[in-house]
Amino acid sequence: MSQSHGQIRLSQLITTFGPGSMMDLPNYSIIIGGLDHWDGGRGGDPISEPRLVAKLRAILDAQQLELRSPPKKTDKLGKVQTGITGWQFPEWFITQDSFPLGGAARSRMLVHRKTLTNGKYIDDDRKKRSIVPVRFVRACPNGHIGDIDWRFFVHRDSVNCSQLLYLDESGTTGDLAEIRIRCGCGKHRRMTDATQMELVALGSCNGSRPWLGPNNREEGGCGIPNRLLIRSASNAYFPQIMSVISIPDTTEPLADIVEILWDQGLKDVSSAEELAPFRKFNQSAKKELGSFSDSEVWTYVSKKRKGASLTQSKSVKQSEIETLLSAQEELGTDVPDGDFFARALPKSVWGGDLTESIEKIVLVHRLREVAALVGFTRFESQAPDIDGELDIDVKRAAIGRETNWLPAYENRGEGVFIGFKKAAIEKWIKEMAVANRGKELNAGFNHWLKDHEASERSFPGLPYYMLHSLSHMIITAMALECGYPSSSIKERIYAGDFGYGILLYTASPDSEGTLGGLVETGRNIKEHLGQALRSNMLCSNDPVCAQHDVTNIHDVRYLSGAACHGCLLISETSCEQHNDYLDRALVAPTVSCIDASFFEVK
pLDDT in tens, 16-54: 889 999 988 877 889 999 988 887 677 788 888 888 888
Question: In terms of domains, do 196 and 337 share one?
Answer: no
Q: For residues 65 and 453, give the distance between their C-alpha atoms in angstroms, rounded to a whole number.
A: 32
The pLDDT value given to residue 543: 92
Contact 146, 206 (CB under 8 A): yes
Contact 587, 599 (CB under 8 A): yes
The pLDDT value given to residue 77: 57
β-strands 29-32, 22-24 pairing: antiparallel
Question: In terms of domains, do 57 and 188 share one?
Answer: no
CA distances from 136 to 125, 153, 167, 191 (A): 28, 12, 11, 10
Ranges of residues in the chain with a pLDDT under 70 are 1-7, 40, 73-82, 158, 249-256, 291, 293, 296, 303-313, 391-394, 454, 509-516
Q: Is residue 510 part of a domain?
A: yes
The pLDDT value given to residue 2: 41
Question: In terms of domains, do 281 and 328 share one?
Answer: no
Question: In terms of domains, do 223 and 261 share one?
Answer: no
SS (H, E, C) 494-526: EEECCEEEEEEEECECCHHHHCCHHHHHHCCHH
Q: For residues 477 and 465, give the distance between their C-alpha atoms in angstroms, rounded to a whole number.
A: 19
The pLDDT value given to residue 358: 92
Contact 360, 419 (CB under 8 A): yes
Handedness of CA 542, 548, 552, 555 (dihedral sign): positive
Question: In terms of domains, do 372 and 472 share one?
Answer: yes
Number of domains present in the structure of the chain: 4
The pLDDT value given to residue 4: 44
351: number of CA atoms within 13 Å, CB side? 3
Q: For residues 580 and 568, give the distance between their C-alpha atoms in angstroms, rounded to a whole number.
A: 10
The pLDDT value given to residue 441: 94
Domain carrying residue 71: 3-88
The pLDDT value given to residue 146: 93
Q: Is residue 269 part of a domain?
A: yes
Question: In terms of domains, do 545 and 577 share one?
Answer: yes
Question: In terms of domains, do 41 and 134 share one?
Answer: no
Question: In terms of domains, do 418 and 542 share one?
Answer: yes
Question: In terms of domains, do 167 and 210 share one?
Answer: yes
Question: In terms of domains, do 43 and 10 share one?
Answer: yes
Q: Which of 33, 63, 88 is the last residue in one of the domains?
A: 88
Question: In terms of domains, do 193 and 328 share one?
Answer: no
